[in-house]
Structure formats: C-alpha cells, structure tokens
Amino acid sequence: MILKLIKKGFNYSQDGPGNRLVYHLQGCNMKCIWCANPESIPINGILMTNNEENFEAKISYFEMSVEEILEEVIKSKMLFFDGGGVTFSGGEPTMQFAELKDILKQLKKLHIHTTIETNGTHERLEELFSLIDVLIMDFKHIDNQLHEKFTGISNDRVKNNIKKAFTKHKNLIIRTPLIKNINDSKKTAMEFIAFYKENNTDNAQYEFLKYHEYGKAKWKSINQEYKIKEGYISDETLNMYKELFEKNNLKIIST
C-alpha cells in the first residue's frame, strides 16, 4: 500500500503529546480559505512553483509505502520522548483511509503512540477510534451555512463524528482555529458551547488556534489567491473564548 505525503518531520507537543514524527498526507475534502497547507488539498496533488524569476515546478507530494513508513518509525523510536509517537495529519489523513487504517493497526501492534489530526468528516472515522491514542478533531464552525461557505462542505458529519467520539474515544481534543470575522464572536462561542453541552464531554479537551499566516506564500506557489485580508484575532477574543468555555466546565488546553 502506498501513501501520498506532502511532508513529514518531527515536532514537539504541538501535534499530540511529546516528541512526534508527523506525517502530512495529501488530499483534503475541505477547502478552508485560511489553510496553511493548500498544496495538500487536491487528492492527486498539485504543481508548485518556487518563484516567478526562477521557474521550477514540483509536484506537491511524494510517496511512501506502509512498510517504508513503519521502518522509518521503528528507526525513529528513540526520539519519541515525553510520551511521543506518530501523528498523521494533512491534508486530511482519512482521505487515504485504507492505508491509514492499515498503518495505524501495525503501529498499535508495535505499541507506538498514535494520533491523528482530522477534520472529522469521514463516515467511517469511528473504525479508527480503537487504533488512535489521541484523537484530534477540528471543528471549524458551528453554523452550518458559514461552515459550508468557508470550508466548502457541511458540518453535519463533523458534528456526528464528534458526538460519537464523545462517547467512544477516551482522549479527544477538539480544535477550533479562531479567525477574525469568521468565528470570533461571542455568539458563535456560545453556540459551540451549547452543542458540546448537549453531550457528555468528560473525555474531551478543547484547544483554540489563533489565526496565523504561515501558509500564505504557499497559495501563491500553487497560483491561487489567498482570500483572507485580515484574519488575526486579539488576545481578548481568545481569552473571551477560553473564559466562556471554562465557565461551562469545558477543559481548555494549549499545546
């Protein structure tokens, strides 16, 4: 089985606990206008150029077989300190579902800590729950219309999967990127809270990611327009979100 990846590398504590080897998989079913890895969106990859003067194009992904990834992971084990392990991110890792499931199974056999970062849309996501030690799910907007406007698809399945995860996964982190004029209002925060409170949220933790523009240059490299003009939010907005969640006994984390 072959996986398409846009990048891989180590990171500490930002994509799951401890020091982790993170694989970013090609392909995503959303098209978030703030995406930091826009080259990861098309499932079959895209040509990227480095700059206009010195035109040089390369395809956005490279391939690795499940076996190659496993071998690499085993050779990297000494770097999984502080509870670290392997994270699959994206793109959207579940776009390569069969391959992902296979590799997660094998990692579990090897007792390697696993995490995935998913947008929560895959209809069979639940099948992976037992193979994942920490499940990180993005929930980008509570309002379905706005969700569709900014990501390209409805949030119905996201909600559904979050509900399942609330009851069936022991270690769930729900992440929301906070972006000015998109989801930074108190009203939106309260709506998120209302949704979460309908469920048993004991196993879940919540994290807010402040808007950043690390991926802005990449939009240019794939010849597409970066549409957000002013997305940065203030510390006050972030604190407002945090305070409201805490007031409602929702556990906030910051990694």
Please say which residue, 47 or 79, places its beta carbon nearer to other proteins.
79
Which of 72, 102, 143, 191 binds other proteins (CB under 8 A)? It is: 72
79 counts as binding other proteins under rule CB under 8 A: yes
- CB-neighbour burial class of residue 31 (10 A; exposed 0-12, middle 13-18, buried 19+): middle
Which of 52, 54, 55, 75 binds other proteins (CB under 8 A)? It is: 75
Exposure of 219 in the CB half-sphere (CA atoms within 13 A): 15
User: Rounded to an integer, what distance in angstroms lies between the CA atom of residue 255 and that of residue 246?
Assistant: 17
Tokens of 214: 């690390």
Stretch that binds other proteins, among 6-14, 42-50, 185-193, 242-250 (CB under 8 A): 6-14
214 counts as binding other proteins under rule CB under 8 A: yes
Please say which residue, 85 or 120, places its beta carbon nearer to other proteins.
85
Residues 6+ apart with CB under 8 A from 175: 117, 136, 137, 138, 139, 206, 207, 208, 209
Stretch that binds other proteins, among 2-10, 37-45, 151-159, 197-205 (CB under 8 A): 2-10
Per-residue burial over 55-69, b = 16 or more CB atoms within 10 Å of its CB, e = otherwise: eeeeebbeebebeeb
111 counts as binding other proteins under rule CB under 8 A: no
Which of 5, 6, 21, 48 binds other proteins (CB under 8 A)? It is: 21
Tokens of 79: 């770097």
**Which residues sit at the interface with other proteins, rule CB under 8 A?**
7-14, 19, 21-22, 72, 75-76, 78-79, 81-82, 214
